[in-house]
Amino acid sequence: MISIELKQTQVSPGQILRGDCYWQTNSDKEFQPATLKIGWRTEGRGNVDKDQFSQKIKLASLVSVPFEYEIPLNGPLSYDGQLIRIIWEVVVQTDQFWFGGEKEEKVFRVVSRLAKP
Residue ranges that bind another protein, judged by CB under 8 A: 13, 42, 44-49, 76-77, 79, 81-84, 86, 112-114
> Of 68, 67, 58, 56, whose CA–CA distance to 23 is shortest?
58
Q: Which is nearer to another protein, 57 or 77 (CB)?
A: 77
**Cα 10 to Cα 55: distance, rounded to the nearest angstrom:** 22
Q: Which is nearer to another protein, 81 or 100 (CB)?
A: 81
Q: Which residues contact 107 (CB under 8 A, 6 or more apart)?
A: 87, 88, 89
Half-sphere exposure of 81 (CA within 13 A, CB side): 11
**Cα 15 to Cα 11: distance, rounded to the nearest angstrom:** 6
- Shortest distance (Å) from residue 71 CB to another protein: 11
Q: Which is nearer to another protein, 63 or 73 (CB)?
A: 73
- Shortest distance (Å) from residue 37 CB to another protein: 18
- Shortest distance (Å) from residue 117 CB to another protein: 15
Q: Which is nearer to another protein, 100 or 117 (CB)?
A: 117
- Shortest distance (Å) from residue 96 CB to another protein: 31
23, 92, 38, 70: CA torsion to nearest 10:
20
